[in-house]
């Protein structure tokens, strides 16, 4: 479920302390003066115990979101870093001489020249150059369609936007004092759900982020959110509805969660736990994936069937224990078999177009069908839409088929060869 709220924009604009500088989407992360190795100790001291963005080795290997456990010195100089790789329990030691880049809090704090170029480093460098080239070409295509990419934020601007979200959470906690705040690299989470219960759900959020990064070819560690994605998860439904009414000016009776997205790129997701752990985990992934798609590349909206289909598919991939989506797809198959069509308004476009609840299973199974045909082409198809190309044109460019031809092939794959669009 997606909405844009003037109230959300109002409180963020009131709290934000930094103004955006529109920069080319193709630019690299902003840097300040890079400390020399013999001046690095004081800088690294500030990050010990933190999850940092990236450590890249001269060999080409990258540690994304490692924890900096400690720093080893040789006299006054840094000689090695002790890291705990994401998801690992044991730390390892990496010699500083083998490190070519350290990025922390979205800022490059150390960079050195590769002393010995390895084949792995050359492959890594070529991959990076190809990625930058593709981004530059994507920006050019966007501007042909009069679409501006999301602006690149400096480290200071990213920090200011996180601070603005934290200030908002401070306001919310005055009304809901039991909320406890925690951070991952990509998410700011405020919840009154016990920490031990919440931990696996937070892991699902990070897994969703990596899953969509991999789908769209975004190197892990590259910033996607404006600051972070804020998640407010309430134990009780009545607290969720009270929050939505008081702070977001919405009426949310009977809803499990909602992803608020503003036109300036900020994302806030709110929800309540409910009674089924796997359904809750799926809903978290589903709703935050809407925010991810909002933040990817440009503000261009995906058509609702595609947006919801990706959200359902991602939720199933990250939370396979949840059986809701297969049940929705089974009911959707019966719906299509009875009608011979996808139902009214399924392929409607525009920010206010929404598929019906019974059509979610059609959306997820169509996305799975396209992904199964060619995962890379599917990502290129979605990218084309975000660049401003119509669904029809983007399908022609990637799958070499019209929407009706895709629908016919999809129908054949589910035993409905005569499946068609509903008449307008």
pLDDT in tens, 229-244: 999 999 999 999 999 9
128's torsion region: left (phi>0), alpha (psi -120 to 50) or beta? alpha
- For position 378, what pLDDT does the model report? 98
Name which residue leads in pLDDT, 292 or 132: 292
pLDDT band, very low/low/confident/very high, at 120 (cuts 50, 70, 90): low
12 has a pLDDT exceeding 50? no
Task: Classify each residue of 373-403 as buried b or exposed e, where b means 16 or more C-beta atoms within 10 Å of its C-beta.
Answer: beeebbbbbbbbbbbbbebeebbbebbeeeb
**Does the pLDDT of residue 15 top 70, yes or no?**
no
Token reading at 97: 């001489």
Alpha carbon distance 248, 175 (integer Å): 14
| Cα radius of gyration (the chain) | 23
Mean per-residue pLDDT over the chain, rounded: 88
Question: What local confidence, expressed as pLDDT, does residue 424 receive?
Answer: 64
When pLDDT is averaged across residues 339-344 and rounded to a whole number, the result is 94
Q: What percent of the chain has pLDDT over 70?
A: 88
Going by pLDDT thresholds of 50, 70 and 90, the confidence category of residue 246 is: very high
Q: Is the pLDDT assigned to residue 9 strictly greater than 60?
A: no
Predicted confidence (pLDDT) at residue 37 exceeds the cutoff of 60: no
How many whole angstroms from its chain centre is CA 74? Answer: 40
Mean pLDDT over 32-48 rounds to 73
The CA distance from 80 to 37, in Å, is 11
For the stretch 131-156, pLDDT in tens is 788 889 999 999 999 999 999 899 89
Angle in degrees, 0-180, between the axes of helices 195-216 and 277-295, rounded to the nearest 10: 40
Give the model confidence (pLDDT) of 357-373 as tens digits.
999 999 999 999 999 99
Q: What is the pTM of this model?
A: 0.84
């Amino acid at each position: 479920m997606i909405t844009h709220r003037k109230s959300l924009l109002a409180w963020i604009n009131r709290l934000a302390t930094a103004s955006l500088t529109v920069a080319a989407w193709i630019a690299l992360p902003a840097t300040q003066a890079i400390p020399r190795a013999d001046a690095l100790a004081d800088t690294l001291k500030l990050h010990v115990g933190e999850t940092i963005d990236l450590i890249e080795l001269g060999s080409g290997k990258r540690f994304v979101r490692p924890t900096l456990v400690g720093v080893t010195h040789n006299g006054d100089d840094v000689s090695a870093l002790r890291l705990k790789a994401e998801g690992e329990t044991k730390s390892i030691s990496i010699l500083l001489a083998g490190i070519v880049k350290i990025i922390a809090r979205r800022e490059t704090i150390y960079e050195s020249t590769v002393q010995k170029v390895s084949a792995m480093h050359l492959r890594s460098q070529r991959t990076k150059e190809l990625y930058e080239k593709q981004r530059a070409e994507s920006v050019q295509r966007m501007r042909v369609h009069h679409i501006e990419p999301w602006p690149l934020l400096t480290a200071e601007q990213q920090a200011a936007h996180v601070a603005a979200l934290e200030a908002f959470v401070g306001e919310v906690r005055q009304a809901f004092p039991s909320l406890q705040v925690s951070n991952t690299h990509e998410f700011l989470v405020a919840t009154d759900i016990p920490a031990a219960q919440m931990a696996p759900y937070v892991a699902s959020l990070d897994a969703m982020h990596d899953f969509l990064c991999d789908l769209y070819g975004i190197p892990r560690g590259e910033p996607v959110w404006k600051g972070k994605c804020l998640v407010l998860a309430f134990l009780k439904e009545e607290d969720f509805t009270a929050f939505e009414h008081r702070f977001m000016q919405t009426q949310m009776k009977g809803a499990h969660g909602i992803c608020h997205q503003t036109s300036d790129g900020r994302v806030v997701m709110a929800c309540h736990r409910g009674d089924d752990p796997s359904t809750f985990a799926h809903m978290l992934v589903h709703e935050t994936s809407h925010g991810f798609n909002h933040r990817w590349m440009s503000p261009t909206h995906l058509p609702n069937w595609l947006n919801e289909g990706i959200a359902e598919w991602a939720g199933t991939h990250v939370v396979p224990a949840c059986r809701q989506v297969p049940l929705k797809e089974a009911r959707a198959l019966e719906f299509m078999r009875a009608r011979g069509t996808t139902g009214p308004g399924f392929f409607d476009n525009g920010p206010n177009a929404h598929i019906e609840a019974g059509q979610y299973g059609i959306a997820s199974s169509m996305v799975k069908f396209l992904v199964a045909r060619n995962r890379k082409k599917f990502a290129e198809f979605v990218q084309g839409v975000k660049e401003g190309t119509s669904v029809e044109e983007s399908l022609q460019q990637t799958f070499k088929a019209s929407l009706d031809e895709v629908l016919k092939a999809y129908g054949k794959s589910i035993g409905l060869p005569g499946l068609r669009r509903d008449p307008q």
